């Protein structure tokens, strides 16, 4: 599976959200941005490379199931932070 143009394929990373004091925030709290690891980038994508960790808008893109794994396909413009 390979991304094309300015699309990015990512694998979502689930992590516990914590407050500054270390308390874990319950899962029913919705955050605007989600975290994921880049699996593939299209040839027109700039500044994002394979295996980067990115934050993207939770409403961006769509899910794709490939080889029993779920991936998210988003556009480069939906990425807000690259770690």
Q: What is the pLDDT along the chain (83 residues), one digit of tens a residue?
A: 999 999 999 999 986 666 777 776 665 556 789 999 999 999 999 999 999 999 999 899 999 999 999 999 999 999 999 99
Amino acid 32: pLDDT: 84
**pTM passes above 0.75:** yes
Give the chain's domain count: 1
71 within domain boundaries: yes
Please report the sign of the dihedral spanned by the C-alpha atoms of residue 39, residue 43, residue 49, residue 50. positive
20 within domain boundaries: no
Half-sphere exposure of 8 (CA within 13 A, CB side): 26
Domain containing residue 42: 7-14+30-82
Amino acid 29: pLDDT: 56
First to last CA, the chain: 24
58 within domain boundaries: yes
CATH for 48: 2.30.33.40
């Amino acid at each position: 599976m390979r991304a094309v143009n300015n699309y990015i394929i990512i694998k979502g990373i689930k992590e516990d959200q914590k407050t500054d004091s270390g308390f874990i925030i319950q899962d029913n709290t919705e955050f605007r941005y989600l975290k994921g690891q880049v699996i593939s980038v299209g040839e027109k994508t700039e500044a994002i490379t394979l295996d980067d960790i990115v934050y993207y808008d939770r409403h961006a893109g769509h899910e794709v199931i490939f080889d029993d794994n779920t991936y998210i396909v988003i556009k480069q413009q939906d990425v807000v932070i690259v770690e």
